């Protein structure tokens, strides 16, 4: 019991000391909706499109292999039925049996190939997605760092972050010092002219004088 009280007192003292230091140093805090910035950054849309195209290509390759597997499976069933034909000689039935066994072996090889392909495809997509995420996060964080330093902020908190239990980490945010818009605008300044950026003001359209 004394140990618990001692720990509680220590935590209170640390919190009080931090609050006093924060007040003395006038620490400036800012927030950013990192999730919103991430998903509305034009490079995210581009990377998402590339990933979707890659996934479709892999899906088409897998579909072709499955079609080949189903064809061999049909050939195996046909060959197996022919082994039961009593009208042919024993030698012919043995020959057909070996042919059916060959088709069965081909089926198993194709099945193993498909399973291996599925594992590799998943690994490829996961790795490509991880690299994309890491690169975009690094770019966004770079702009956040610049804005924080220029604005004199000591700490920038992600208002979209959630705890391990799924509850929001930031329970209230007045958005007085929110960097979401300025960071997103600067990131999207590099967007190609023909790309529509969410939230961006469209360029004026030149009209021919009549």
User: Residue 98 belongs to a domain with what CATH number?
Assistant: 3.30.910.20
Q: Which domain holds residue 53?
A: 28-188
pTM of the predicted structure, to 2 decimals: 0.69
Tell me if 19 is assigned to some domain. Answer: no
pLDDT band at 67 (very low <50, low <70, confident <90, very high): very high
Tell me if 93 is assigned to some domain. Answer: yes
Q: Is the pLDDT of residue 48 over 90?
A: yes
Tell me if 121 is assigned to some domain. Answer: yes
Tell me if 145 is assigned to some domain. Answer: yes
Tell me if 14 is assigned to some domain. Answer: no
Model confidence pLDDT, tens digit, residues 73-131: 999 998 888 887 777 788 888 888 898 899 999 999 999 999 999 999 999 999 999 99
Tell me if 34 is assigned to some domain. Answer: yes
Number of domains the chain is built from:
1
Tell me if 174 is assigned to some domain. Answer: yes
Tell me if 201 is assigned to some domain. Answer: no
Question: Read out DSSP for the chain?
Answer: -HHHHHHHHHHHHHHHHHHHHHHHHT--EEEE-HHHHHHHSHHHHHHHHHHHHHHHHHHHHHHHHHHHHHHHHHHHHHHHHHTT-TTS-HHHHHHHHHHHHHHHHHHHHHHHHHHHHHHHHHHHHHHHHHHHHHHHHHHHHHHHHHHHHHHT-SEEEETT-B-TTS-BS-S----TTB-HHHHHHHHHTTS-TTSPPTTPPPPPPP----
Model confidence pLDDT, tens digit, residues 126-148: 999 999 999 999 999 999 999 99
What is the mean pLDDT of the segment spanning 186-193? 91
């Amino acid at each position: 019991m004394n140990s618990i009280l001692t720990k509680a007192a220590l935590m209170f003292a640390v919190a009080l000391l931090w609050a006093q230091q924060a007040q003395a140093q006038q620490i400036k805090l800012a927030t950013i909706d990192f999730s919103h910035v991430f998903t509305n950054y034009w490079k995210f849309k581009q990377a998402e499109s590339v990933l979707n195209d890659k996934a479709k290509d892999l899906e088409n390759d897998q579909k072709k292999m499955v079609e080949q597997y189903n064809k061999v499976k049909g050939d195996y069933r046909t060959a197996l039925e022919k082994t039961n034909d009593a009208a042919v000689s024993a030698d012919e039935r043995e020959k057909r049996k070996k042919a059916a066994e060959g088709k069965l072996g081909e089926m198993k090889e194709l099945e193993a190939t498909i399973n291996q392909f599925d594992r590799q495809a998943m690994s490829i997509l996961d790795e490509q997605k991880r690299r994309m995420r890491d690169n975009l996060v690094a770019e966004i964080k770079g702009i956040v760092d610049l804005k924080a330093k220029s604005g004199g902020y000591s700490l920038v908190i992600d208002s979209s972050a959630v705890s391990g239990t799924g509850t929001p980490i930031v329970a209230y945010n007045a958005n007085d010092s929110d960097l979401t818009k300025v960071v997103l605008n600067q990131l999207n300044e590099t967007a190609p002219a023909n790309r529509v950026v969410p939230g961006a003001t469209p360029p004026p359209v030149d009209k021919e004088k009549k």
